[in-house]
Structure 1
Amino acid sequence: MPKRALIEKRPWLLASLAAATAYYFLRDNPVGEGTWGLLLKGAGVALLALYVLLRVPHGKHRGDGFLLVGALVLAAAGDVAIELDVLAGGACFAAAHMVAVVLYLRNRHPRPSPTQKLMGAGLLIGTPLVSYVLSGQPEVAIYAAFLGAMASAAWMSHYPRYRVGTGAVLFVLSDWLIFSRMGSFDLEPLPTILIWPLYYAGQLMIATGIVQCLRGEQPVR
Structure 2
Amino acid sequence: MVQRALIEQRPWLLASLVAGIGYYFIAQTALPDIYEWTIKGAGAAFLAIYALTRHQGRDTRQIAAVMACGALGDVLIELNLIWGALAFLVGHLIAIQLYLRHRRTVLGRSQKLVCLAFLVLIPLIAFLIPADRSAAPGIALYAAGLGAMTATAWSSTFSRYRVGIGAVLFAVSDLLIFSRMGPLENSAIPGLLIWPLYYFGQFLICIGVVGELKKRTSVSP
Provide TM-score, normalisation by structure 1: 0.90
In the alignment, which of 97, 105, 122 is matched to residue 100 of structure 2? 105
Distance 2:69 2:196 in 1: 19
CA contact (8 A) 1:107 1:157 kept: yes
1:34 positional shift: 1.0
Distance 2:138 2:106 in 1: 35
- Deviations 1:146-194, CA, capped at 9 Å, x for gaps: 1001001101101111111010000010011100001234572210100
Partner residue in 1 for 2:143: 144
Partner residue in 2 for 1:30: 30
Partner residue in 2 for 1:192: 191
Q: Which runs of 5+ in 1 are unaligned?
A: none
Distance 2:186 2:197 in 1: 15
Q: Which stretches of structure 1, 4 residues or longer, exceed 3 Å deviation after superposition?
A: 5-9, 184-187
CA contact (8 A) 2:7 2:14 kept: no
The residue correspondences of 1:1-221 to structure 2 (distance < 5 A) are: 9-31=9-31, 33-56=32-55, 58=56, 62-135=57-130, 136=133, 137-186=136-185, 188-216=187-215
Distance 2:177 2:185 in 1: 11
CA contact (8 A) 1:164 1:205 kept: yes
Q: What RMSD, in angstroms, separates the aligned Cα atoms of the two structures? A: 1.9
Equivalent residue pairs, number: 210
Distance 1:185 1:47 in 2: 32
Amino acid at match of 2:121: G
1:212 positional shift: 1.0
Q: Which runs of 5+ in 2 are unaligned?
A: none
Distance 1:162 1:150 in 2: 16
Counting aligned pairs with the same residue, the percent is: 45
Distance 1:71 1:9 in 2: 23
CA contact (8 A) 1:9 1:55 kept: no
